[in-house]
Chain A
């Protein structure tokens, strides 16, 4: 199985800050990587797919980059509604696997 490791596990930031979350795959996944946002009590929401493609309706302050084993999700200017937990997910091979999550908290 492909293991996905996110860092940090949590980050404290202020509105307007630039936030970067990283995801590392245990083996190369090409660009088969997605990012999701989840708020408490809600289902996850797809932000980025194919490593860098912005899902329809997602604000442009979210961006993704990387390939093979190292990926980054960047929020260019943190907004109040962005405080949530973020997960990466590889779709290169079954079983599909997720990172452990990064909680973005208010500083």
Chain B
């Protein structure tokens, strides 16, 4: 069965950096686009970023553009989120999510990780 396991969350000061990882298993990782979605405490869902199955296309939400970078290593079945210049408003549970489409992305999220909490605070 499909599993996604995030790691790398924690407490960081404003202006700091953090790198999240998400390892996938139970599916052919290299065939699927991957997303990061976040949820601030008690709030709704916010899509953060997407990377195409082969890494050749990426897209970002406006609130993180220029500060966050998504990447992937298909040899390690892992997608990463490098977060720089962190702000208090970036505090959230970060989920990685698998795209529903096989090679042809459809931008629905059919499997999610358990989430990792990022807290930006001094």
- Chain A positions within 8 Å of B, measured between CB atoms, are 1, 32, 34, 36, 38, 43-46, 49-50, 55, 87, 89, 91, 94-101
CB distance from B90 to the nearest CB of A (A): 16
Known A-B contacts A49-B108, A95-B59; A43 and B113 likewise in contact (beta carbons under 8 Å): yes
Interface size on B, residues (CB 8 A): 21
**Cβ-based interface call for B44 (8 A):** yes
Tell me how far the C-beta of A107 lies from the nearest C-beta in chain B, rounded to whole angstroms: 23
Most B C-beta atoms less than 10 A away, residue of A34, A36, A43: A43
Residue ID in chain A nearest B100 by CB atoms: A49
Cβ of B47 and Cβ of A43 under 8 Å apart? no
Partner of A49, one of B62, B106, B114, B115: B106
Q: A residues within 8 A CB of B114?
A: 43
Complex contact A98–B50 (CB within 8 A): no
Residue of B nearest to A1 (CB): B62
Closest B residue, CB atoms, query A44: B112
A95 with B113: CB separation less than 8 A: no
Given the complex, which residues of B lie within 8 Å of A87, measured CB to CB? 44-45
Q: In the complex, how many angstroms separate the beta carbon of A25 from the nearest chain B beta carbon?
A: 14
Closest chain-B Cβ to A48's Cβ sits at a distance in Å of 9
Name the A residues within 8 Å of B95 (CB-CB): 43-44
Q: Return chain B residues, CB-CB under 8 Å to A43.
A: 95, 112-115
Are A91 and B108 also in contact (CB < 8 A) when A97-B47, A98-B44, A98-B47 are? yes
Distance to closest chain A CB from B106 (angstroms): 6
CA distance A1 to B114 in the complex (A): 28
